[in-house]
Amino acid sequence: MNFSRRNFVGMSAAALAGATAVSGRARAASIPEAVIVKSPAMQPPVMPQDGQSYQPVVTLNGWTLPWRMNGDWKEFHLVAEPVKREMAPGMVAKLWGYNGQSPGPTIECVEGDKVRIFVTNKLPEHTTVHWHGIILPNGMDGVGGLTQPHIKPGQTFVYEFVLKQSGTFMYHPHADEMVQMAMGMMGSFVIHPRDPTLHRVDRDFVFLMQSYDIDPGAAMPKIMTMTDFNLWAWNSRVFPGIDPLVARRGDRVRVRVGNLTMTNHPIHKHGEPFTVTCTDGGWVPPSAQRPDVTTDVPVGGMRTFEFIADEPGDWAIHCHKSHHTMNAMGHDVKTFIGVNQKDLARTIRTLVPDYMPMGEKGMAEMGEMEMPMPDNTLPMMTGFGQFGPMEMGGMFSVVKVREGLARDDYSDPGPYKNPEGTVAYLFEGDAGPAPRAPEQKASQPPAVEFNVVKPGGGHSGKH
């Protein structure tokens, strides 16, 4: 992989002996190098290096953190620090993350591994790391003040535990949590089964979901926002900046999704149905699995689903909350559908000569025109496909299924070449007479039989 590297000077044994943040087992060793990656390009998967067989994951717009073996310990080095993240071409956000990016690199291990994770804090405030969903000793759980002291700026702490399960997990702070997660601090943690024949797939994708509130023209998230977010992201990227999920026809494909936003997300995939096979609580027994095309990912939860890529094409995958597939959305934008804005536009042009009224017939024209925006601001509806504007943003990408791809080829194959006669087309024949409403025949209410009781007990008969 093409990494840029930042070297950390190895500490002497005497220096480590005086650092209470470093455990006794780690004192005899130097801290492993911290690898830093700033490019949003998806890095190729890291193939197994120690003889264990598994299909490595591919992180959308991300990468897997390298490790070193120190005896029987697999050692990693995370650096919590301010980062700059390109959310899509034309916009860069000032976030917090790990090792140069938000979210941080994916940590990838095997069930039974002994892991030692060094965490260096380069933030302006203290932090911790919680290993979400992973079974470990209480003192390694990463809840500041409850299970460990906080990691102060400039300190390095060490987490050590043995992986007792396999599945899809994540890591994030449990210190000043509202601020630090709102700023983008999180990462994926994937544990492969010890038995390489279990839950085997051909392609394995992973990403986390984030929500940000960034004013147009700004770069810093508003950390106090609780509900009114305007950017919905996968791995801190929004469409059209999110990588496609590329698969070879016939591959069994796994997609692992984690949610650290403030709301649930119904993730919908076009094309073949899928089956949810794992949560952050463990693998779903086959008897509890069912086919579906949408799975709701709750706040703080993870869902893993799998499908056979049988149908070639460019298949959309997105959150099905329609406002989550838009960028820089304003919550106070008025609805002008059906409103004649000619007089209003004439008045506004006396102040803003280039003003263009929009919205009388819906918002589609915004996706077609991509009007100029303030610096560092993305259009609300954007992206172009081979047939025109896609009018999307936010949590949207494409599953690209192709014949004949190489096994480990994840490069974008470009637009799908539809076989002749398989694309919806414009009908140019005779539309026939205009439809008319069926004739309404006047009808009399049905006669009703009832008896009227007269004074004295007599009856009047039918009425």
pLDDT tens per residue across span 386-396: 999 888 998 99
235 vs 176: CA distance, rounded Å: 21
Pairwise CA distance, residues 457 & 383, whole Å: 83
Question: Helix or strand or coil: residue 122?
Answer: coil
More confident residue, 331 or 430: 430
Q: For residue 79, what is the domain's CATH number?
A: 2.60.40.420
Say if 359 falls within a structural domain: no
Residue 220, domain member (yes or no): yes
pLDDT at 257 > cutoff 70: yes
Domain that holds residue 302: 4-316
Q: What is the pLDDT of residue 129?
A: 98
Higher pLDDT residue, 163 or 389?
163
* 414 occurs within a structural domain: no
Cβ(263)–Cβ(301) below 8 Å: no
Residue 30's pLDDT is: 85
Q: Dihedral sign for Cα 347, 348, 352, 356, please.
A: negative
Residue 98 forms beta bridges with which residues? Answer: 80, 101
Residue 454 has pLDDT above 90, yes or no: no
DSSP at 147: T
Please tell me whether the overall predicted TM-score, pTM, comes out greater than 0.95 for this model: no
Does a structural domain hold residue 190? Answer: yes
**410-422: pLDDT as tens digits:** 999 999 999 999 9
Average pLDDT, the chain: 85
Both structure tokens of 130: 């919680």
pLDDT at 86: 97
Cα–Cα dist 23/265, whole Å: 40
pLDDT at 13: 34
Residue 68, pLDDT > 90, answer: yes
Rounded Cα distance, 256 and 269, in Å: 13
Q: Within 13 A of 50's CA, how many CA atoms are on the CB side? A: 14
Question: Is 425 contained in some domain?
Answer: no
In a domain, 453, yes or no: no
In a domain, 345, yes or no: no
Inter-residue contact 36 to 100 (CB < 8 Å): yes
pLDDT attached to residue 28 = 40
- Digit-coded pLDDT (tens) for 420-442: 999 999 999 988 887 777 776 66
Q: What is the dihedral of CA 405, 47, 200, 317, to 10 degrees?
A: -50
Question: Tell me, what amino acid is at 191?
Answer: I
| Model pLDDT, residue 436 | 78
Residue 16 placed within a domain: yes
Q: Which DSSP string do the residues of 47-82 spell out, in sequence order?
A: --SSS------EETT--BPP-EEETTEEEEEEEEEE
User: How many independent structural domains does the chain possess?
Assistant: 1
